[in-house]
Amino acid sequence: MKYIAVVASLALLMGCATTFRPWLLSEIEEGMERAQVIRILGEPDSAETKNGAEFLHYSYREDFAPLLADNSTYAYEANRRVREQQIRKSLKEYRYAVKLVDGKVQSYKELVD
């Protein structure tokens, strides 16, 4: 049983290590190297090179934790599912880009449509 708890804890920690958390952007400073950025923010969703600069792209989507089912009637359950779908559609996705020039951070910003 102890072995299962250790494995589950490690799996949770590994999952956290790869999830982008936008509040960590405040730890990024001009002049940091690419490896430092990745150590703090994790692997980017994508990267591109444009006009001599490299852009690391990150995204963060608000999460929705649905309520647990409570053995309600079918009609109530159907209405609950519709409400959950409406909430999921209203959740926002945030996108960020870190700009590197010569392998060092020049700037970062939130991308807006």
Q: How confident is the model at residue 71 (pLDDT cuts 50, 70, 90)?
A: low
The predicted pLDDT at position 10 comes to 42
Mean pLDDT of 54-69: 75
Torsional sign, CA 73, 77, 79, 80: positive
According to DSSP, the residues that pair with 56 across neighbouring strands are 47, 98
Domain holding 38, by residue range, is 2-111
| Average pLDDT of the residues in 5-26 | 59
Q: Give the chain's domain count.
A: 1
Predicted local distance difference test score (pLDDT) of residue 34: 97
Confidence check: pLDDT of 7 > 80: no
Q: How far apart are CA 19 and CA 43, in angstroms?
A: 9
66 pLDDT more than 60: no
Which of the pair, 81 or 65, is modelled with greater confidence? Answer: 81
- pTM of this structure: 0.62
**In this structure, what CATH number is given to the domain that contains residue 62?**
3.30.1450.10
| Stretch 69-81: mean pLDDT | 64
